[in-house]
Each structure stands twice: as C-alpha cells, then as structure tokens.
Amino acid sequence: MSEVKWYFSRSGSKEGPVNKNDLVNLIVSGQIKSGTKLWNASLPGWTPIEKTEFANLVSPAVAVPPLPGNGPATMSPMPNIQNQAQTSPAGVTDSHTKVTQSLVESKRGMSLIESVKMCFSKYFCFKGRASRSEYWWFNLFLLLCFFPGAFLVFPIFIMYGGLIPMLSCAVRRLHDSGHSGWLLLVPFYNLYLVIIDGQHTDNKYGPALK
C-alpha cells in the first residue's frame, strides 16, 4: 500500500503533501502547533490536530495565572522560528528544509513553464489533482514537440519521455472534478471530463486547488 500523505494549514493556506515522519518532525520542531488542522484521504474533512493520532505530540495552550499582587500576566513572546532552527538538531532542520521544498502543489491559473515543471516533477504520480491550466499547457508543450524538425530532434522524448507524464496529468485532471482516472478509457466522455472545471472544494482525491 502507498504511504498516506498529510496536508496541514498554516497562516490561512494549505501546505503538503508530507509523509507521516516529516509531519512528526514539523510538530516536534514547533513548526506545527496546537490548533493546526490536518487532512488526509482517511479523514472526513480538515480536523484539529488535537483530534488526530498526533494529539500527544502537541501541548495545549495554557493560560498563566497572574502573580500575587500584580496585574494580569502577559504571555511570553513566541520564540523566533529561525532561532529555533539554528538551535535544533541538524537532522530536524534538514528534514524541515526538504519538506518545505517538496510542498509544491498544482494550482489554478498556471503558466506554461510552471505546468511543464509540475508535470515532469510528478512523472509517475497518478494521485492528487491537476488544474485545467496545468493539463492544457502541458499538452500544448507536447504538441509543439510534434512540429516538423522538432520531431527529428526529440523522437525518443516524444515516444517515451512525454507519454507517462501526459497520462498521469490526465488522471489527476479527472480527479480534480471528482472522477476516477479509469474514465480516460471511455471515448468522448474522457474529453468532456478534461474540459470541465474542477471542484472548488475538497474531494476524496485531495484538497481543493487554489
């Protein structure tokens, strides 16, 4: 079975996917705190971390009582995340850096260059969702490679290099509207499914694209 991928909210935006070990590192290093909401395919929706299997890794916020004879206590400022990273073990810092770099997800309104980079970075990825712009820009890129001259220069790329990412992107495109990738095998209906707009809410294939 494939490893479960997690998404989490931070500063009002979703980030992910990350695997379970990387998510634990983010919690332990203080990057994910109490009140953060998590999501994966097995959860009914975005769920507070306190109601997930990681609840024992976060400490709930506790109000500090005032000192006798003094006014209300003030909470100490939160430690700077950069300072934490400097004093954290090298393994935790490096792991967080790799996770941050991997938090690249499809979005609506992608450019041609973004689309090509995304599709090749998800070469064998048949999970998740792809926006219409990602799908059509990448197919335009592949079409340009078929022009006379380009075909003579890139025959191996056209035959092998572009086929798999084209199929994986098409499967993710169907996922965006909540449909199974197997529907690509249905003539004409598959064209309709890659043309229609995707769902603007979370579905069983992943969080909504922004």
How many angstroms separate the CA atoms of 163 and 155, rounded? 12
pLDDT confidence bin for 171, thresholds 50/70/90: very high
pLDDT digits (tens, 9 = 90+) for 5-19: 888 887 778 888 888
Residue 33: pLDDT over 70: yes
Q: Per-residue pLDDT tens for 46-87?
A: 888 788 888 888 766 555 566 665 555 555 555 554 444 444
Is the pLDDT assigned to residue 135 strictly greater than 60?
yes
- Say yes or no to pLDDT of 99 above 50: no
Residue partners of 13: CB distance under 8 A and separation at least 6: 210
pLDDT, mean over the chain: 74
Q: Where are the domains of the chain?
A: 6-102, 112-195
Rounded to an integer, what distance in angstroms lies between the CA atom of residue 165 and that of residue 141? Answer: 12
Query: Going by C-beta distance under 8 Å and a sequence separation of 6 or more, which residues neighbour residue 17?
Result: 5, 6, 7, 103, 105, 128, 206
Strand partners, 10: 13
Cα 183 to Cα 117: distance, rounded to the nearest angstrom: 25
Residue keyed to tokens 């300072």: 83
In angstroms, rounded to a whole number, what is the distance separating the alpha carbons of residues 35 and 64? 18
CA end-to-end span of the chain, whole Å?
A: 29
